Amino acid sequence: MARGRKPELKGVADGLAKAPPAPAWLPAESKTEWRRIWPGLAARRTVTTSDLATVEAYCLAVGTAKRAQAQIALDGEILATEYGPKRHPAFQTLFQSLTESRRLAAELGLTPTSRNKAGAAIPDGDDDLKDLDL
């Protein structure tokens, strides 16, 4: 394998073919993402029970980004402070969450590029990132 390339994702014998329930501790936005991505993950059988923490982290990052963006939309991008106008502090959370969700999405084979590298066959009309809505 060339340096800097991710290994190909291949279905594994103990890959989960059915979505486990979303962890109770995940926020609502993260649970929505959990339910959205699992059909594709289960079809490819690339995630095992030992990988569930990575799926949880991905869903948490997506949910956190959605909540940060919602707060920015509610409050406005620029806030008036006693020191003058400042960019909303939720931008830092938003950017960190987007960066982490993008990295984890690639790890899990949730991006078009990572799926193509894996050679995974995705049924027509199943685009794991189409509803990300960030």
- Residue linked to tokens 């920015």: 72
> Phi/psi at 90 (nearest 5 deg)?
-70, -15
User: Across residues 7-30, what is the average pLDDT?
Assistant: 86
Q: State pTM to two decimals.
A: 0.78
Three-class secondary structure of residue 122 per DSSP:
coil
Confidence (pLDDT) at 91:
97
In contact, 107 and 37? CB cutoff 8 Å: no
**What is the radius of gyration, based on Cα positions, of the chain?**
17
Q: How confident is the model at residue 4 (pLDDT cuts 50, 70, 90)?
A: low
Three-class secondary structure of residue 84 per DSSP:
strand
Confidence (pLDDT) at 25:
98
In contact, 8 and 117? CB cutoff 8 Å: yes
The more confidently predicted of residues 115 and 46 is 46
